[in-house]
Amino acid sequence: MMKKVAFISSSTAGVVCLGLFVSSAVAAGITYPKARKSDQSDVYHGVKVADPYRWLEDVDTPESRAWIEAENKVTFGYLNSIAQRKEIASRIKELWDYEKYGTPFKESNRYFFTKNDGLQNHSVLYYANSITETPKVLIDPNKFSADGTVALSGLSVGPLGNHIAYGISKSGSDWQEWRIREVDTGEDKEDVLKWIKFSGASWTKRSFGFFYSRYDEPTNDGALQDVNYFQKMYYHRLGSEQSDDELVYDRPDDKEIGISAQVTDDGHYIIIHLSKGTSPKNMISYHNLFGGGMGVFNKLIDKFEAQFDFVDNDGTLFWFLTDLNAPRKRLIGINIDEPGREHWVELIPESKDTLQSVSAIGGKFIAHYLKDAHSVVKIFLNDGTFVRDLKLPGIGSVGGFTGHNDSNETFYRYTSFTDPGSVYRYNVDSGEGTVFRKPKLKFNPDDYVTEQIFYKSKDGTRIPMFLNYKKGMKRNGKTPTYLYGYGGFNISITPRFSVSNLVWMEMGGIFAVANIRGGGEYGKEWHEAGTKLTKQNVFDDFIAAAEWLIDNKYTSTPKLAIGGGSNGGLLVGACLTQRPDLYGAALPAVGVMDMLRFQKFTIGWAWTSDYGSADNADEFKALRAYSPVHNLKPGTSYPATMVTTGDHDDRVVPAHSFKFAAALQAAHSGSAPVLIRIETKAGHGAGKPTSMRIEEAADRWSFLVGTLKMDLDHWRK
């Protein structure tokens, strides 16, 4: 799930309640604000369901703002009581301060890449005319705003390398403004494009303009909550007003269809991907740009039956990555002159590993696979003949491999849980890879261990899990453990380096990642086994991971925390309500907590492909059975919990977290703290400045240090 007011100071100590609030519960010396309960209810398929905190869906009323302020004062009062909080923040900041390079890409004769000197709020975009030339700054997002809450959210360089279209996002919003900058002068043109969401920019061959998708301008004050329907695709010509942009494609017959454009590398065709919500199934249409005008688009894939990702073309031969008749995907060729399925050609067949992506570079295919949730890369000729494996340093993840079929050069980045990795320059002809940039951190990766284990879920399904910890850890059931998961939307969770997670391990903790169903680690069937009426499999997988960690003496309930964000926040909320006895702490972030109303806000309707909808009787029954806000039981002792959200998240609206936190505090009967940390001038997570990310990480670990009763006496000594 695919992307305000002044911040309430975290220095506020003590417990403070506004006058309109009274105490509703006391735990560990904390007095919680009381959220008003209304008599609001709804009837679903003959079942009456109460929704007493509906008023919190409007985040900008005086009552909601007062509740937000009161909750933050309680939360930061508790966090300030953790003696090690400043030291944790200091260590995270110290380790965060190293050069970070993005993966370079090349357009025309110019190289483009991002770099962060260490603690800059945002990475800076550079360009150079050769790989050895001193790079020049092209876009510095740190100059967009004084507090770092305006971010670079997208970019696309024209094929001639002389113009770049780039998106700007404010306070983490999914809404973007796009502008155009001349590379040679570093100056912006007057073009400004608004009301763009979930779109890139795809340039025509001679860089006269580009295709993009947008929505109609929201009415009144509904930009942050109104549902988004009827996406439309336009063509923008450089130097023109947005009002003059040509409407190229829309679907007034179906409000849910999403539209994205891709101009082929040779510039001859525009490919349109048509999707519905977050479902991977899509349709494909195309148009010959050299055929005069936009005309009528030709339908190539005309029904939603499988996933088809356009890779590249050789004249009229189009290459697609697809899961049609191949749950773990394969590469096929379709000649648009003979588009019938009997003429389709299989180039790279399905294998036991999941084919994640394919790039066409230098007359070869670079195929990126997942083998038990970590990267494997293979090189093939354009006819599908295997050439070689690309050897990687270890169990980790790779990204990059952008380039063109008329060039043999590409770049990729390797990383793992305990190694920030390096950026490599790769020659696809010779197979030679050289280090382009290697980060230098103030720690030794050899001090840490990554192991992968497999455990059985409730129904016997074999689930992989990564365990990361400092060497010398003793399996005595006393090690603080942070179990992370996601489990949705065909998204694979693979090894990634994180300074925050490194500090957790440095403090003596285990960082565990369960690759549960609902993700894409093992292809289409793995994903679908964790959707709609089978969504409970996801929670069962995660609960089984927690039980395995306890049974095998890695940790114990008082030392075990669970965490996840967005769909992973739902995961934590559901597992928290189903098994409150199993964990010592929970950290649900920006979670989807109200499963009966999620589709009524912004892009929430798009998630029904994974979740289903309360409008359907069978799906309503399944949703209500695990919906976190509807399954809290009064009088239950819940584990220590810190809900986190942004007060103007326009992806998963903060009402989810607000309502869950209010209901949790009202239901909780134990002594463990149950809090909500509400970030202001922040959205779903993308584009957050470094300073804000460090503060959040420090508060997350500080909360666990306090609630899991971690002993840090020997940390860093």
Q: Which residues are catalytic?
A: 566, 684
Query: 479: closest CA among 564, 569, 552?
Result: 552
Cβ atoms within 10 Å, residue 340: 8
Query: 703: closest CA among 74, 18, 45, 143?
Result: 74
Q: How far apart are CA 441 and CA 421, in angstroms?
A: 11
- Token readout for 594 is 């109200």
- Token readout for 630 is 């509807």
Count each helix (H run) and each strand (E run) in the chain, helices first.
10, 41
CB 181 within 8 A of CB 698: no
H helix intervals, 612-679: 617-626, 655-667
Q: How far apart are CA 420 and CA 588, in angstroms?
A: 26
Instruction: Match 């049609």 to its residue by tokens.
Output: 324
SS3 of 717, please?
Answer: coil
Q: How far apart are CA 107 and CA 403, in angstroms?
A: 8
Query: 174: closest CA among 198, 141, 193?
Result: 198
Q: Phi and psi (nearest 5°) for 522? A: -125, 30
- Token readout for 642 is 């810190």
Q: How far apart are CA 333 and CA 346, in angstroms?
A: 6
Sign of torsion over alpha carbons 157, 163, 168, 174: negative
Q: How far apart are CA 343 and CA 300, in angstroms?
A: 13
Beta strands in 124-252 (DSSP E): 124-128, 136-139, 150-157, 163-170, 176-182, 188-196, 202-203, 209-214, 232-237, 246-249
Query: 64: closest CA among 583, 72, 235?
Result: 72
CA angle 429–434–438, rounded 5-degree value: 150
Calculated CA dihedral for residues 237, 242, 246, 250, nearest 10 degrees: 130
> Edge to edge, what strands does the sheet with 422-427 contain?
397-400, 409-415, 422-427, 433-437
CB 575 within 8 A of CB 542: yes
